[in-house]
Amino acid sequence: MLFGMKGVAGVGLLVALACTAGAYDLGQVDVETWVGSGTNTVLWVVDFWPGDGNHNSFAFGYRFAAPSITGMELLDALQAADIGLSYAAPDGYVTDIWYVRAGVTYHASDNWPDSYWSYWVSSDDGENWGYSDWGAALRVLYDGDTDGWLALPGDDYTSVPVTPLVPAAIPGDVNCDGQVTFADIDPFVLALGGESAYDAVFPHGRRLNADCNGDGKVTFADIDPFVARLGQASVE
Ligand SMILES: [Ca+2]
Ligand SMILES: [Ca+2]
């Protein structure tokens, strides 16, 4: 049995729910890093925790010269690029994926039936996903295709991989959820502590959103303007 057929009962529903609103282009995807060389490009998205927004999903770009590659060759190429990614696939089925980034280790293991690494495909840069009909060794990617891996609980028939997007520039929205609320207070304090501390907690954040006086830096001088924006937001 090919990996990816375990959740076959939910396939139709999963595909039906795989559509999201609002088109974006590749430039808006928050790509961790590009590796490889060549004029053909594919995107690879890994989502370690369904339902948790963008904070545990990551996108990677791969360039290649061959006409096509398989999903397993893509995994091998990313692992070989020494960018903190690794995976295990005993018997050809992906059971573990790790990503070490900014001192944080992201990891989910296959623990069927509680969870398993589900395999997804996309032809629009990870905006809309379909459950892969093929195992990674037989899936063929061409220029412009996207592969996705999602740690999916066995009873979850609705989640799809979340493709991380570059956050909007909104002064005061330090947790980058699109609005300025009290939930931004702790992230603001974190941002004051420096880029590395902030980046470890918000890998898809925009620390400069803590720059509330518009001088291009995040300093104590942003505290009063930040509080003022919070006050505006709370009465709106
Ligand atoms: Ca916010
Ligand atoms: Ca500032």
The per-residue pLDDT for range 4-19, each reduced to its tens digit, is: 444 444 444 444 344 4
pLDDT tens column, 158-205: 889 999 999 999 999 999 999 999 999 999 999 999 999 999 999 999
- Judged by its nearest atom, the ligand closest to the C-alpha of residue 212 is 2
Please name each of the domains of the chain with its CATH number: 8-153 (2.170.130.30), 182-235 (no CATH)
**Burial class (CB within 10 angstroms; exposed 0-12, middle 13-18, buried 19+) of 91:** exposed
pTM of the model as a whole: 0.84
Confidence of residue 49 (pLDDT cuts 50, 70, 90): confident
- CA 160 to ligand 1 centroid distance, Å: 23
Q: What residues have a C-beta under 5 A from ligand 1, the ion? A: 173, 175, 177, 184
From the CA of 176, the nearest ligand is: 1
Neighbouring residues of 226: CB distance < 8 A, sequence distance ≥ 6: 172, 184, 188, 210, 212
Per-residue pLDDT tens over the stretch 73-84: 999 999 999 999
